[in-house]
Amino acid sequence: MTDSAPVDLHCHSTASDGTARPAEVVRLASDAGLSALALTDHDTVAGVAEAAGEAARLGLDFLPGIELSCSFPRPGTLHLLGYGVDPASPALLKLIDEQTRAREVRNRLIVERLNGLGLDVSWDEVLEEAGAGRGENDETRNGGTRDNATRDNATRDDAARDDAARGGGATIGRPHLAAVLVRKGLVASARQAFDRYLGGAGGAYVDTNRLSAERAIAAVRAAGGVASLAHPLLLRRQTPQQLEAMVRELAEQGLEAIETIHSGHDADTVARLTRLADRLDLLTTGGSDFHGSAKPGIRIGKPAGREVPRGFYDRLLHCLRRRRATHRGRPADAPTPAVVADRPGRAGPPSAGQPLQPWQQGSVMNRS
Ligand code: AMP
Ligand code: ZN
Ligand code: FE
Ligand code: FE
């Protein structure tokens, strides 16, 4: 691995719907010869600490990230990537907690609808599925060693609250529901599960997401991060002009980057989105959207066979560093100066016994 080696800024782990543990994702990135990685699990930062530790051990540059699902009219999908976020930011944790609750309401409704369609699926099976991929000694749940499947309901609720207080638990999503349907032989494949039941046109589709992009962007920025629009084509705007108008609107709300390189983007799309970023003076981000064996066609560090240049990571870091320089005072969501000073990488010195995370160290931040 050299400092000019490519990077991957869009990866999922068992903290959401990926199949590789956070530390494994980092090892795969290192084995693939990448020089930097961002972990961007759906609506959680629960995998960040484990990934950061492994990245430090292997000498890989690491950015804590998140992919927030925002409300958007069907058939479009609006996902916002947040980079360099402080995983302990109160504003971000509050939003994650709300998303987790909304997801549980939605997931339970989907199970009810599936039952209404005559499919024998229970909420416990979904929990088991989401826990199953996470290994026995589950650090993904931020230090927790409890096994989802063995919790009774009351303990589970308590544990969920603990998780939220510590930085969010693991995210449960439709891919876990799809996996249950496949495992029980109720559908032939995850694809069929989405086509028939879980997708926008499926019989059990439920959308309860009320998170506005504006609020998601604000939370990422309050957490000290840079917001990037993930896979912009999935907004499914009819024309390039409509896409541009939407991106402009998001940029006015504080969006600072768009994802140009992605496993779903062909060469033309990459070129078009790169020109759009140039025109709107936005940074570019890129990544594979790696999900492990849940999306077997996707290789870490090789979105659609391409590579994401190291410069994407360096420019993001540069922007984050500038942000910190202008934020010498208190960030917008800072609770009290004492708490902020206690946290590394912010206004004050790190507290004893709490090591600086790699992305919080001046040497890494000052490298670009
Ligand atoms: P959720 O966040 O629970 O709404 O689920 C979103 C996840 O489901 C994303 O990771 C998508 O990749 C996956 N997904 C959405 N639509 C499909 C589909 N038609 N086939 C397979 N996976 C899908
Ligand atoms: Zn996913
Ligand atoms: Fe996404
Ligand atoms: Fe993703």
pLDDT, tens digit (0-9, with 9 covering 90-100), for 226-284 = 999 999 999 999 899 999 999 999 999 999 999 999 999 999 999 999 999 999 999 99
- Under the banding of pLDDT at 50, 70 and 90, the label for residue 333 is very low
Q: What are the tokens at 46? A: 């629960």
pLDDT for res 220: 98
- pLDDT at residue 96 greater than cutoff 80: yes
Locate 99 and state its tokens: 């998303």
Q: Tell me, what's the pLDDT at 324?
A: 78
Query: What does the pLDDT read at residue 143?
Result: 34
Average pLDDT, the chain: 83
Q: Percentage of the chain surpassing pLDDT 70? A: 77
Per-residue DSSP letters for 17-65? T-SS-HHHHHHHHHHTT-SEEEE--BT--TTHHHHHHHHHHHT-EEEEE
Give the C-alpha separation, 93 to 249, whole Å. 25
Q: Is residue 287 predicted with pLDDT exceeding 90?
A: yes
What integer pLDDT is reported at residue 325 of this predicted model? 74
Q: Which ligand is nearest to the CA of 8?
A: 4
pLDDT digits (tens, 9 = 90+) for 155-186: 444 554 445 444 456 899 999 999 999 999 99
Give the pLDDT confidence of 51-68 residue by residue, as tens digits.
Answer: 999 999 999 999 999 999
Tell whether the model's pLDDT for residue 353 goes beyond 70: no
46: Cα within 13 Å, side-chain hemisphere: 33
Once rounded to an integer, what is the mean pLDDT over residues 123-145?
61
Judge contact between 37 and 329, C-beta under 8 A.
no
Look at residue 140 in the predicted model and tell me its pLDDT. 40
Confidence bin at 285 (pLDDT 50/70/90)? very high
CA distance 202 to 330: 47
* Burial class of residue 166, CB neighbours in 10 A (0-12, 13-18, 19+): middle
pLDDT of residue 164: 41
Residue closest to 223 by CA, chosen among 91, 32, 74:
91
Banded model confidence at residue 365, pLDDT cuts 50, 70, 90: very low
Ligand 3 centroid distance, CA of 362 (Å): 31
- State in Å: Cα 186 to ligand 2 middle: 22
Could you give the CA distance from residue 179 to residue 340 in angstroms, rounded to a whole number?
41
Query: What is the distance between the alpha carbons of residues 132 and 147, in angstroms, rounded to a whole number?
Result: 9
Give the residue whose CA is nearest to atom 18 of ligand 1: 194
- What pLDDT shows up at residue 359? 52
Per residue in 103-128, pLDDT (tens digit) is: 999 999 999 999 999 999 999 999 99
For the Cβ of 173 lying below 6 angstroms from any atom of ligand 1, the answer is yes
Per-residue pLDDT tens for 295-332?
Answer: 999 999 999 999 999 999 999 999 999 887 776 554 44
pLDDT of residue 343: 30
In which band, very low, low, confident or very high, does the pLDDT at 289 lie, cut at 50, 70 and 90? very high
Return the best residue to mutate from 194, 211, 233, 262 for the ligand 1 pocket (most ligand atoms within 8 A of CB): 194
Distance CA 303, CA 218 (A): 28
175 lines ligand 1 (CB under 6 A): yes
Give the pLDDT of residue 170. Answer: 83
Residue appearing with tokens 């000498």 = 59
Distance, CA of 259 to CA of 288 (rounded, Å): 10
Query: Is the shortest distance between the CB of 344 and ligand 1 below 6 Å?
Result: no
Percent above pLDDT 90 for the chain: 72
pLDDT grade for 136, boundaries at 50, 70 and 90: very low
Distance of CA 230 to the CA centre of its chain: 10
Ligand 1 close to Cβ of residue 358 (< 6 A): no
Q: Is 279 in the pocket of ligand 1 (CB under 6 A)?
A: no
Distance CA 223, CA 202 (A): 36
| Atom 2 of ligand 1: nearest residue by CA position | 173
Measured from the CB, is residue 190 less than 6 Å from ligand 1? yes
More confident of the two residues 313 and 339: 313
Q: What secondary structure letter does DSSP report for 2?
A: -
Using 50, 70 and 90 to split pLDDT, how confident is the model at 3?
confident
In this prediction, residue 2 has a pLDDT band, given cuts at 50, 70 and 90, of low
pLDDT at 200: 86
Q: Would the CB of 69 count as within 6 Å of ligand 1?
A: yes
